[in-house]
Amino acid sequence: MNPAFSKGLRPGLYAITDEQLIPADQLVAAVTAALRGGAVLVQYRDKHSPDSVRLDQASQLQGLCGEAGVPLIINDDPQLAKRVGAAGVHLGQGDQTLTDARNLLGDDALIGITCHGDLELARLAHDQGADYLAFGRFFQSATKPGAPPANRQVLAQARQFGRPTTAIGGITVHNGADLITSGADLLAVVGGLFGPGDVEQRARQFSRLFADHHPLYPFHP
C-alpha cells in the first residue's frame, strides 16, 4: 500500500539538528544548507540547552522552514512546537503521549512516533493517529549510541499501516539507498548530514538517492 502523505509530508531527506554537533552560531547556516540541498522535513532536536535558547533557536528555524515551505518538527516538546507555530512534534516511547500531544496541537499537527524495530509499537502508534512511524537505529550511531537496533525487514512490514515510514540511526549517503528500497519514505539523518564537510552537497546526494530509488519522489501533493 502506498503511504498516505498529508500535512505537507513528502518522501525525502529528514534533517535533524543536534546541539552537540552544530555550534549554535552555525545552526541557521547549517539548516539553510540542508534546505537548499532538498531536505523535505526538519527536526529541531536539542536535548540540553536552556529553554530560552531552545525557544530562540526553534523560532529561527520555524522562520527558515516556513519560507522554504518545509514542515518543522520539534523533538520531545509539544509545548515548544505550539509556542513557535511548528508543524508538529516527534515523540519517543518515553516522551509525552501522542494523545496529550494531539490534544494540545490539534488534528492538523504532524506527529511522528519512535517505534524502534517493533511492529506492535507501530500498530499502536498507527491506531492512535501517528502521521509517520520512525524505525531505527539501522547502523551504529555516534549521536545516539544506545538506541536499540532495528532490522531492515520492519520497513517493508510497516507498509501495512499505510503511514509514511522514517528510518534513522547512522545513515549516510553511502548506506541510505538500501533503506529506501526496503521501504523507507524518509531518511532521518544527523551526523551523516551535519557532520564535517559540505552540508548542502550531502543533502543533494541524499535527495539524489530518493530520485533514484523512491517510487513517489519528487512527490507533489
Ligand X SMILES: Cc1nc(C(=O)O)sc1CCOP(=O)(O)O
Ligand Y SMILES: Cc1ncc(COP(=O)(O)OP(=O)(O)O)c(N)n1
Residues that bind ligand Y (CB under 6 A): 43, 45, 75-76, 90, 92, 95, 112, 114, 134, 144, 166, 168, 188
Q: Does 155 bind ligand X (CB under 6 A)?
A: no
Q: Residue 169 and residue 142: Cα distance in Å, rounded? A: 9
- Please, which residue, 76 or 131, has the CB nearer to Mg ion? 76
Cα Rg of the chain, angstroms: 16
- To Mg ion, the closest distance from the beta carbon of 186 in angstroms equals 17
Q: Does 117 bind ligand X (CB under 6 A)?
A: no
Instruction: Return the residue of 88, 112, 136, 183 that touches ligand X, per CB under 6 A.
Output: 136
Bridge partners, residue 187, by sequence: 13, 167
- To ligand Y, the closest distance from the beta carbon of 34 in angstroms equals 14
Instruction: Return the residue of 38, 78, 183, 192 that touches ligand X, per CB under 6 A.
Output: 192
Instruction: Return the residue of 13, 65, 73, 171 that touches ligand X, per CB under 6 A.
Output: 171
Q: Residue 64 and residue 22: Cα distance in Å, rounded? A: 17
Place of cell 509499537: 121
- To Mg ion, the closest distance from the beta carbon of 218 in angstroms equals 29
If DSSP codes are grouped into helix, strand and coil, which group holds residue 96? coil
Cell of 34: 540542508
Instruction: Return the residue of 168, 179, 184, 203 that touches ligand X, per CB under 6 A.
Output: 168
- Please, which residue, 76 or 185, has the CB nearer to Mg ion? 76
Nearest to 133 by CA among 179, 85, 90: 90
- To ligand Y, the closest distance from the beta carbon of 67 in angstroms equals 23
The string of DSSP letters for 20-73 reads TTS-GGGHHHHHHHHHHTT-SEEEE--SSS-HHHHHHHHHHHHHHHHHHT--EE
The one of Mg ion, ligand X, ligand Y, none whose footprint includes residue 166, by CB under 5 to 8 A per kind, is ligand Y
Q: Does 169 bind ligand X (CB under 6 A)?
A: yes
Instruction: Return the residue of 144, 152, 204, 213 that touches ligand X, per CB under 6 A.
Output: 144
> Is residue 114 part of an annotated ligand binding site?
yes
Q: Are the CB atoms for 181 and 213 separated by under 8 Å?
A: yes
Cell of 151: 532490522
Show the DSSP H helices in the chain as ranges. 27-36, 51-68, 78-84, 98-105, 119-127, 153-157, 176-182, 191-194, 199-213
Q: Does 112 bind ligand X (CB under 6 A)?
A: no
Residues annotated in a binding site for Mg(2+): 76, 95
Q: Which residues are at the interface with ligand X (CB under 6 A)? A: 114, 136-137, 141-144, 147, 168-171, 189-192
Q: Detail the residues annotated as belonging to a binding site.
A: 43-47, 75-76, 95, 114, 141-144, 170
